[in-house]
Amino acid sequence: MNRVGAAIGSFFWLLAAPGIVAVLMPWWLTGWDAREMGDGWLPVRVLGAVGFAAGAVVVIEAFGRFAIKGLGTPAPAAPTQHLVVTGLYRYLRNPMYVAVVAMIVGQAMLLGRIVLLGYAAFVALVFLAFVKGYEEPTLRRQFGADYDAYSASVPAWWPRRPKR
């Protein structure tokens, strides 16, 4: 796959996967109707907006990185040709999944909607099951020792400084 094809595929997958999980479903659950929480909750709402925006930036950057560096998409049907280990992937193996959950939690804080915290927990469990049951074994088969070395030096879910 070339970069143009990867970019087009990544764009459509961005709309289909994170778009549905982190935007459409929260809207469906809440109508993006903010609860009245009083002025004391303003810092929580601001933090929620920052979390949502930061998550969105990470997701968009990661999708672009998959197209440009990996020559593929995050979609299982059109995976990358190269293991992506640059950018935020130096610190965390699953920044996209963490960012999508951050977007949902951010919306929960911004809107004052507890239902979104439950939804975020459900999404996190689905992501964990997908990564353990499909993604990690697939990457291990596709990239072998390179993935094993990457996996040994970069944590899956909680960032830390990479080993040198």
How far apart (Å, rounded) are the C-alpha atoms in residues 149 and 58?
A: 24
pTM score above 0.75: yes
Model pLDDT, residue 31:
94
pLDDT (tens, 9 = 90+) of the chain, 164 residues, equals 777 887 888 788 888 889 999 999 999 999 999 887 777 788 999 999 999 999 999 999 998 998 888 888 888 778 889 999 999 999 999 999 999 999 999 999 999 999 999 999 999 999 999 999 999 999 999 999 999 999 999 999 998 765 56
| Residue 13 vs residues 30, 43, 78, 116, 133: alpha-carbon distances, Å | 24, 33, 10, 23, 21
What is the Cα gyration radius of the chain? 17
DSSP string, 73-100: -SSTTS--SS---SGGGGT-S-HHHHHH
Q: For the packed helices 3-16 and 42-68, what is the interaxial angle rounded to 10 degrees? A: 150
Q: Domain ranges in the chain?
A: 3-153
